[in-house]
Structure 1
């Protein structure tokens, strides 16, 4: 493992409740953070072109755009609407010169119990946007989510399953490795080796014990049980030399703290425990 992690990127959801995208860009500049990963709702609030100019002028690297995906739907019209929405997300990612569009692929449609059908819709949805993304030079990063999100957020739950999709779909599709979602997987080391150069993004936070909310109780790096440096070493061994993107959803802790304090803590923990 290298002596220090790759550069730090701020996923803007880390200070979702405190700051606009404009404030996030300015905050990164103040704290010496050189990467940023916006969420599309805050991007829409700011305006894509205005945000792109501000990011360029500040010298930030856009490590990803959150998020595309959410492909499954109850009917064909819904599936087509989701594909169209993903193409808009690709356009936004291209405007920002983002290193990838992160795909949180979606779970089963409301009322469904057909997991295999939802997974097939995900495969078909990514296939339907892949050529569009290739033309726009926007890599698609499938992010497997922890199995607790299989029903409603992502029916792709292991790195191995995400890589199976990459194998099937071909060029232009890779993976985002988020330690929060994959740390538990007994096949993780094997699948990171399999991923190789297809690792497009590396996300960090921590798993708290106990976790009080499945979605909104992520920990700051070093406050939980994940061996973040160990996973980073495995990812780097495959040639990943990109950003460590901190992505913390924390409704009762970090979202309630002053955003500058959050960013100072991110910078300190990135240097000491990532």
Structure 2
């Protein structure tokens, strides 16, 4: 699903030398995590509405949304795996078009955008539901670049201000090696240093408003409200970072060139592992995450 005011190809309406900002959102990679669908629906409903903030976002950003990454698993009533018995959120590094077709297709689309010099994929958010923790919160990546690490914290901090059920104190940043196959970890190692990848978690149970001790049960409307607040937060983010299209530098000397990614598959039908080279290098020294993620 693509959401933008002008129905033209990505980058087609840009002035020469400008990049189109893209936000990519996925949900329901784990079939049993139904709250993620309501959060995603809240994002979609807000973005296609006539709300002034939604209009501004559509004017300046392109939202690409895959609301259900595991439709076969949902149809079968599975909790975590696909029709073939795979946890799709562990196969981003090398998805098979036969065994993980939805993941393979989404990854190819992301690679295509990554290789397009007119497109800058600035955010990737994968929506999940958590069975033990309360509130909404995020998982992010750890980077050696301290400045990039600090910039990554801006979006969840802003969301905490906009959504009473979102907890920044529960948000954590890690690079646990066992999560290397997740969308957040893999794409965080693939995309350039202006891109930020998150797992957005929301409790199955309830949330506690800051300053209180009372647990408020989540409802379908509360989940969708969180989705609307996620969408609103992008405007706050870009108020701090201008929505004006960013011009590209005229020569490679002043801009790090995107390394072309191999898009083919091996004879066995497996996607190439080349795109994961950055991630594999990082994973060699990655510490164990002590949190309790369900991503």
State the TM-score, normalizing by the size of structure 1: 0.32
Question: Would you tell me which structure has more helix in proportion to its own residues?
Answer: 1
Higher relative contact order by CA 8 Å / sep ≥ 6: 1 or 2?
A: 2
State the TM-score, normalizing by the size of structure 2: 0.30
Rg larger in structure:
2
